[in-house]
A and B are shown apart, each in its own frame.
Chain A
Amino acid sequence: MTTELLAPPERNYLSAGYTARSWLLTVDHKRIAILYMVSITLFFFVGGAAAVLFRLELMTPEGDLVISETYNKLFTLHGIVMIFLFLIPAVPAVLGNFLVPLMIGARDLAFPRINLLSWYLFMLGGALVMWSTFVGGVDTGWTFYTPYSSTYANTNVMLAALGAFVTGFSSILTGLNFIVTVHTMRAPGLRWFRLPLFIWAHYATSLIMILGTPVVAAAIFLVALERGLGIGIFDPKLGGDPLLFQHLFWFYSHPAVYIMVLPSMGVVSEIIACFSRKRIFGYRFVAMSSMAIAVIGFFVWGHHMFVSGQSVYAGLVFSFLSMLVAIPSAIKVFNWTATMHKGHVWLSTPMLYALGFIGLFTMGGLTGLFLATVAVDVHVHDTYFVVAHFHYIMVGGSVMGYLGGLHFWWPKITGRMYPEWWGRFSAVLVFFGFNLTFFPQFVVGYLGMPRRYHTYPEEFQIYNVMSTAGASILGVAYLIPLIYFIWSLKYGPRATANPWDARGLEWEAASPPITQNFETTPIVTTDAYPYAEDEQRTEETLLV
């Protein structure tokens, strides 16, 4: 690793201003990425704190720490905060915001002010969710199912739902910005099939953001009308159908899983190419599999409703379509594996996270096939099996990708190196803690423990104790990077423009980049990941 003592460029995007105003009114995509990074980190620890509390409660079969109502509010808070305020913005709004213009050789996103607006909307939505918590909390679960949310839950549900609605618009604006930027602002010579896979993944994610989010917005809008004005759309007393809410909700919320995981897949592609010193195997297949996941993902929402009274035929069709998603997902996993094959694999911190991603995502994906099978789903529906499955995808997938990406591009973002030993240590600890938390939940779910209850029969205690122990380890493993990242801002060694000897336009910019990103617009003459031709040289560099 080359970490020569270099002075950072005198003027870079970080030194462009130190006042609060220079941050809060910035239109620089890199600074907005930092604003997002700080905000989602705060929300991550809020959502994590809720999880700590209910994991403690679940240590014992009796309800002894909190009453059931508080328990319901805790898992609702955890769900709403982690999904709407952390997982959905995590990779796109932080890493995507920072890297999309850099990777395509542009000076900014197409609409810098709309980008800033999207952060303000995000914060407004986050404030509403926090407000709903402070005035008493919401107990509907993050899914806001009707008629619970429209008739029976307390009124704070409207604040929280409004929060989700507003953050939805921030997500739409981010997606819109990415699509327009990728279409209109690529550097000369950067044809579509020369784009880094990170960009393809974000393009596919953006499609879901702009086409899926408005549907959940409409669903929340209708719940608000029902709740606020007394007009009924999902109300069975009027002949309305609560199932319609579930259809609209999952039409977005299933694809939303791909908003969380596709960008992480993009991150993993970049990391694996770099630390295997090879061009990604089957580049076009990996690029197109992102698009395929985005498209097929829109036609599988019914798998959340196998036991909701949907017709058998609809169930079978949704079951079949859900299994189709496994094909593009498997294409990615196989191609990543093939990329590493005979590559010069270097187990750096980002690479450990990427490998962790592959393992956990594969596990989550395969158990997803169980759940897509109607007969099995009837048995395990609403049990901890489902909880374990989606955490393997959303935490095992998204968070591993986010952390891997954060380590990979940390030198670019801050101009400093993080401590490699601590990085590897916490990456391994995250993987271990995660599996200890969630693997027992597959077992206890299969044995029949339902989700969303704060008491359970005694024979399930051993699994819950394992899970809580794992969650404690996971909590510590997430705190370590927080500490050393902050430490590195002052004490980390200075990073060169390209400390990993990686390929890609972002590594041609300075670390940290100047406000305009590049001194002169780069011209692209090669495909993505041109690692192979100078394998020999990189080997010498890396084995120092």
Chain B
Amino acid sequence: MTGHVAHHFDDAEQQFHAANLGMWIFLATEVMFFGSLFAAYTAYRYMFPEAFVAGSHSLDVVMGTINTAVLLLSSLFVALAVNAAATNRSRAAAGFLVGAIVMGVVFLGIKAVEYADKFAHNHVPGAHFQFHRESEGEHAVDGEHHVSVNESAIPGGDFQAGHNSPDRTLEKRVELFFSLYFAMTGLHALHMVIGVVLLGIVAYQAWRGAYSQTYFTPVEVSGLYWHFVDIVWVFLFPLLYLIR
């Protein structure tokens, strides 16, 4: 057990406390990082509510819901893994971690399907971006069809007023929605990939019986990270898919 205490720590407890606090502080920086993107999303959503609602309607709520469930399940597995490691069941912990990894991969797979769909519909921002309200068929908003955007009330509005029809203006703003959609979900997916690798390493160590009641810091700390990435999605899901 003492073999796990690095030279500069007095004891295992101090080391555990330091590692845990370190991860919490790292997560605080992550909150600020994602928080900036959430702030950008909120500002633009407030400026262009109709375009953001239209963009949101083209997302697949069913896929999003399944993914939310998948991630919550993965977090449960991680919690069980921490518990198993803390009660001297290192191998069981490895099993739970593999469960969490499988759930993570399923999430990424579903996300990939959604991204492919966006590519197919030219919903990816850039030169080929297209968004036609009429052709969006089943996703279109009920009720009012022709959106009139009050140009003068919106910063940058005058810029396009000359050349562009309201539909063209709307298309540009839906593109803004998708820019944020890809930035936020892409960054989240990157964190998921890192998490899967991290859990993979810890699972391997757990399988070799590295963890016990007296030393399970890596399980605890990588678990914290995983829960955080999960919680980011719990905010992204309603923000992008549900608030319409």
Q: Do A and B come from one complex?
A: yes
Chain A residues contacting B36 (CB-CB under 8 Å) are 214-215, 218-219, 248, 251
Q: Which of B7, B43, B159, B182 contacts A237 (CB 8 A)?
A: B159
Cα distance A323–B37 in the bound complex, in angstroms: 29
Interface SS of chain A: helix
Kindly supply a per-residue 1/0 record for chain A positions 200-228, scoring 1 wherever the CB is within 8 Å of any chain B CB and 0 otherwise: 00000000001111110111011001000
A210 with B29, Cβ < 8 A, contacts A106-B8, A185-B14, A239-B173 known: yes
Chain A residues contacting B176 (CB-CB under 8 Å) are 232-233, 238-240
Cα distance A236–B178 in the bound complex, in angstroms: 15
Number of A positions contacting B (CB below 8 A): 46
Does B47 sit at the interface, judged by CB under 8 A? yes
Within residues 40 to 54 of chain B, which ones have a CB less than 8 A from any CB in chain A? 40, 43-44, 47-48, 51
Does B148 sit at the interface, judged by CB under 8 A? no
Does B109 sit at the interface, judged by CB under 8 A? no
Chain A residues contacting B48 (CB-CB under 8 Å) are 239
A216 → chain B, closest Cβ, in Å?
9
A29 → chain B, closest Cβ, in Å?
9
Does B180 sit at the interface, judged by CB under 8 A? yes
Residue contact B159 to A184, C-beta cutoff 8 Å: no
Residue contact A241 to B18, C-beta cutoff 8 Å: no
Residue pairs across A and B with CB atoms within 8 Å: the count is 130
Does A179 sit at the interface, judged by CB under 8 A? yes
Residue contact B125 to A232, C-beta cutoff 8 Å: yes
Does B175 sit at the interface, judged by CB under 8 A? yes
Residue contact A231 to B179, C-beta cutoff 8 Å: yes
A240 → chain B, closest Cβ, in Å?
6
Which of A180, A213, A232 is most buried by chain B, counting CB atoms within 10 A of its CB? Answer: A180
Which of A172, A176, A219, A239 is most buried by chain B, counting CB atoms within 10 A of its CB? Answer: A239
The stretch from A107-115, A344-352, A470-478 touching chain B is A107-115
B149 → chain A, closest Cβ, in Å?
9
B59 → chain A, closest Cβ, in Å?
17
Residue contact B125 to A107, C-beta cutoff 8 Å: no
Chain A residues contacting B183 (CB-CB under 8 Å) are 221-222, 225, 231, 233
Chain B residues contacting A251 (CB-CB under 8 Å) are 36
Cα distance A183–B24 in the bound complex, in angstroms: 13
Does B26 sit at the interface, judged by CB under 8 A? yes
Q: Measuring CB to CB, which residues of chain A are less than 8 angstroms from any residue of chain B?
A: 106-112, 172, 176-177, 179-181, 183-185, 210-215, 217-219, 221-222, 225, 229-233, 236-241, 243-244, 248, 251, 309, 516, 521
Apart from A176-B22, A239-B44, A516-B7, list 20 A-B contacts with CB within 8 A: A108-B7, A112-B8, A185-B9, A185-B14, A212-B32, A214-B32, A215-B33, A215-B35, A217-B33, A219-B36, A222-B40, A232-B176, A233-B176, A237-B159, A238-B172, A238-B179, A239-B173, A240-B176, A240-B179, A251-B36
